Structure 1
Amino acid sequence: MLQQGDIFFGRTVINHAAFEFTSSLLNRQINPLPVWTIALPYNIKKIQQRAFVRIDVAILVQIRAINADEMLDDTIINASTKDISGGGVQIVTGHKWPIGTKLMVTIHYPQIGSLTLKSEVVRVFQPQYELAVFWVGIRFLEIAEKDRGNIIKFIFKKQLEQRRKGWE
C-alpha cells in the first residue's frame, strides 16, 4: 500500500490515447469509496499501444466496398496510404465510408507486389472541414501471416531508409 508522499508510476487512457506518468500520493480514503488524491503528474509520455509498428508512407491502393451479401461493389476507389502497419492502413481519400464498412483493399507494395485483403473501416477523420478529404483507418480482417510478415519486413526496411537519410 502506498503511503502519503510516496512516488509512483501510473498509466491512464484519455480519448483512446494511453499515457504513462509519475506522481505522488497526497491523500487516500477508503469510505464511502476508495479515492486517491495525487499530485499533478509529471514525466508524462504518450505510449504506443498498437500491436504493429506503423510508418508513414504513400502507396497506391484500390478499394471496393463489400455489401451485406459479401459481394463486391463495382465502384473502385483509388487512393493513397498515409501510413501502414501489419494490422491495417490509413488512407487519404475523398470518399467517406461509415465505420464498420467492409472493404476489399488492394495495396500495391513495392518489392512485395499487390495484396488484396478483406478489411474494415475503423476510423474516419476529416483533417480540414473545408476540404472533402478524409483519413480513413482500415483494419485487415483476413491476412495470411506470410503476407503480414512481408508487410512488416517492408516497414522495417522503410524505417532503416528513413534513418539513413536522417544521418546524412
Structure 2
Amino acid sequence: MLPKVNQILHMQVNSIDDEESKIEYKSRIADVTDHVIAIELPLNEKTGRLKKLYQGDELSTFFLGQGGVKHYFTTSVTGFREDVIRLVELRKPEPEAITQVQRRSFLRVLAELEIAVKLSDQIQFIGVTEDVGGGGISFICEGHIPIGMNAIISCWVLVPFKNGNIEHIPFTGEVVRVKQLESGKQLAMIRFTDIADRERQKLIRFCFERQMDFRKR
C-alpha cells in the first residue's frame, strides 16, 4: 500500500542528535509521481513551527491506512519544488519496503572508504565502501570473490574525521544482498551483527559530518 495525495505523513528526522530524532512532524502529501512523493513543509505539532529540511536528510515516516493501521517506511529528501507553496520531494519507496512494523533506520551516506574483509581464513581482501551507516555498510569488491548470501564476515573500515583523526572501526556483519555490476565487480550489502556501541557511534558521527558537508555544497 503506497501513500496517496492529501494523506498526512508523520515523520521523524534521523539525526545523531537524540533530542532532534525524537521530534515528530506531520505534513500533507501534495503530489505522488513514479519516483517522488512531494509534501508540504513539515509542521511540529507541539510548537506549531515549520521544519526546514535539507537535501539528503533521512526520514522515518508513517501514514495511516484503513482501520487506522500505521504503515512505516524510510525515505530521504531528494529535492524541492516551487508550486503555489514550496514542496519537499521525497524518494518514493518500493511497495515491499513499506511495513506495518516500525523500524527506525540509521542515517546512511555515500562514502568511498577502504574496508578490509575476512570471509574465511583463506579468503581475505580489500574493498571500497559505497555507503556507510550506523546499521550497515555496502562495499564493492572483485567479482570472482565467492561472497554468498547470509555469509558472516569480519571487517574493519578506515574512517577519517574532520578533526584529522583516522579510526579503524571493526565489526562483524551478515551479507544480506549481492549485486553483480556491469564493471565485472560486485556490490555486497552488509547488516551489522556485532559492533561495539562506541564503534557504532563513531560511524554515526562520520555520517553526520558527511551530511553537514553535503548541506553546505
Shorter-normalised TM range: 0.5 to 0.7
Amino acid at match of 1:144: A
Q: How does 1:72-91 map to 2 (within 5 A)?
A: 73-91=121-139
Distance 2:167 2:136 in 1: 16
Aligned residue for 1:58, secondary structure, equals coil
Aligned residue for 2:140, secondary structure, equals strand
The offset of 1:145, in angstroms, is: 1.6
Aligned residue for 1:104, secondary structure, equals strand
Alignment match, 1:37: none
Is 1:43 equivalent to 2:43 in the alignment?
Answer: no
Aligned residue for 2:184, secondary structure, equals coil
Is 1:150 equivalent to 2:202 in the alignment?
Answer: yes
Distance 2:127 2:104 in 1: 24
Aligned residue for 1:117, secondary structure, equals strand
* Structure label with greater radius of gyration: 1
Confirm or deny: 8 A CA contact 2:170 2:199 kept in the other structure: no
- Alignment partner for residue 140 of structure 2, among 73, 81, 92? 92
Structure 1 outlier segments of 4+, above 2 Å: 19-24, 47-50
The offset of 1:126, in angstroms, is: 1.6
> How many aligned residue pairs are there?
123
Amino acid at match of 2:138: Q
Q: TM-score, normalised by structure 1?
A: 0.65
- Alignment partner for residue 104 of structure 1, among 147, 154, 169? 154
Any gaps of 5 or more consecutive residues in structure 2? 8-30, 38-91, 98-102
Aligned residue for 1:155, secondary structure, equals helix
Any gaps of 5 or more consecutive residues in structure 1? 1-11, 13-18, 25-41, 67-72
**% identical aligned pairs:** 24
Q: TM-score, normalised by structure 2?
A: 0.51
